[in-house]
Chain A
Amino acid sequence: MTTAAPVKTQYEAVIGLETHCQLKTDTKIFCNCSTEFGTPPNTNVCPICMGMPGVLPVLNQRVLEYAVKAGLALNCQIAPYSKFDRKQYFYPDLPKNYQISQYDLPIAEHGWLEVDVEDKDGTLVRKRIGITRLHMEEDAGKLVHGGSDRLSGSTHSLVDYNRTGVPLVEIVSEPDMRSGQEAAEYAQELRRILRYLGVSDGNMQEGSLRCDVNISVRPVGQEEFGTKVEIKNMNSFNAIERAINYEIERQIEAIESGERILQETRLWEEGSQRTISMRIKEGSSDYRYFPEPDLGPIEVTAEQLEEWRSQLPELPAKKRERYQSELGLSAYDARVLTDDRAIAEYFEAATAAKANPKLAANWIMGDISAYLNEKRLSITEIPLQPETLAELVELIESNTISNKIGKDILPELLVNGGSAKKLVESKGLTQISDTGALEAAIDAVIAANPDELAKYRGGKTKLLGFFVGQVMKQTGGRADPKLTNQLLTQKLNG
């Protein structure tokens, strides 16, 4: 007799991201105030961003350029005709009681980006995630709640409007993601693209990249979405992944125990590693959007669009693919090298100077990155030029120096730059690959260690390593390791 176990319902999550990204301009979106981070409260304010009566906001040209470039890089269609709208809400983070944003005619729509995510077997699978829209808007100010660190219980609030009017693009994804990992990959790739373009620094700690997550769960196979919950307050990619994983579990548990999922906004609490309810959304908010009368429409001409398109750099996805197909790097290496545009360009300059790509990649990802991390430097700040790295790699590849010597002289090259070849010559570090010279060194070592020789010949062949070490010591590390091994084995056995 068999007992049928109750079939456990399988759930899947449906996830979309809304990302606010600060554009790297000198001035605000509609006025000439500075966008500098960390200045004393209310120093970067003027009558325009404070919404005084009679002022006229004027669009910053660079904001449009950056938004269009971001749209192009995300494979969007750029609107030939676009406009700004007023979004009304009552909250003192904006002094005007409305935010200038874009509603029905955003600057860019219908794009996508691709991420590689690990499936259950650990193999990388490419996944395309749709971008619904990208629009320009102004950021809001910062509130400090008096009498309490939380809103509830405070007697009044203090407002710093420095951030008010700082240019943002809001990028809305399609609900195409199914796991925390996919969402984190999406957010990282998005930031990588924006950084490559030079339109944003994407710093999550300073709030120049903020991701809000919309998430619901539904039984696998069900067409319609479950009730969605919005999660805010994640300030790292890792936190995005963990918040989503927590929320998926929470929603499935709630459904399984017969609870109703409430449409609400929840906050990720880093300390307790959970999401907490912030407020219940009463239907969709009524922002009463209407066209911003103070700003004219935007028409991007075909010529202008082509000019901006021609200025786009090679993007990370393209680089990853090219590093693998043209340079023969592994997917992992390609991913690490292309994470940061400056590193990728350094690598490319080294390979352009004829460095073996795999060897150059190893040096950059290994010793050079370790040095950069330790000294908190960017690769563009070190005296070691990519051409010198190419020289170093060539010296090792041609057996002029050993890899060990290469590692030994790297610190000096990192600090002083200059030519690797000249440094090797001036220090007399060229590798000894001459059989005669090596044999002389080996003979001397064997003669000096009769006991070890006897043990070796008695069967303790592990002592080969000891002899190699002695030869290296004798030659100041310059002995060709391969040849040394070969000659030593012959002599020890002979």
Chain B
Amino acid sequence: MIDREQVQKVAHLARLNLTSEEETQFTGQLSDILEYFEQLSELDTSEVAPTTRAIDMSNVSRPDQLQPCEDREIILESAPDRDGEFFKVPKIVNAE
């Protein structure tokens, strides 16, 4: 279902550093999960339109009315680091 290389790729995209043991473990576990879901493929869905959600609802929207947040201090304070009115983040190693 899923091989070690794919696990490494997904880990890289999620910026996770996996040990060799973890790679083995997750390759097995993720394959089990995917195989389990694969049971759904028994059903013929060729006539069914794809859906992106389970709840039947659409067009939830709001008017364009200004309602500023009361206290930006709370937001700035809840960040791991700040510099005055800026959020401070570690050195960016890679742009992508």
Residue numbers of A with Cβ under 8 A of B are 25-27, 32-34, 40-47, 50, 52, 58-64, 83, 88-92, 95, 143-146, 151, 154-161, 278-279, 281-282, 285-286, 288, 291, 293, 295-299
Contact = CB atoms under 8 A, between A and B. Distances in A.
Interface in B44-77: 52-53, 55, 57-69, 72, 75-76
A296 B59 contact: yes
A190 to B, nearest CB: 23
Contacts of A34: 66, 68
Interface in B1-41: 9, 13, 15
B53 A293 contact: yes
B86 A144 contact: yes
Interface residues of B, number: 34
Contacts, number: 124
A157 B92 contact: yes
Given A157-B89, A291-B52, A58 B60 contact: yes
Given A45-B72, A160-B87, A297-B52, 6 more contacts: A27-B64, A32-B68, A45-B75, A60-B61, A156-B90, A156-B91
Given A157-B91, A158-B83, A60 B13 contact: no
Give the one of A42, A156, A161 with max B CB within 10 A. A42
Given A26-B66, A42-B85, A288-B13, A296 B95 contact: no
B90 A160 contact: no
Give the one of B67, B69, B95, B96 with max A CB within 10 A. B69
A62 B65 CA distance: 10
A44 B68 contact: yes
A161 B76 CA distance: 11
B85 A40 contact: yes
Given A26-B65, A32-B68, A42 B52 contact: no
Contact of B61 (A58, A95, A161): A58
A151 B92 CA distance: 7
23 contacts: A32-B66, A32-B67, A34-B68, A41-B86, A46-B69, A47-B75, A52-B78, A58-B62, A59-B60, A59-B62, A61-B62, A91-B95, A92-B87, A95-B87, A146-B88, A151-B95, A158-B86, A159-B88, A161-B87, A278-B95, A282-B96, A296-B53, A297-B52
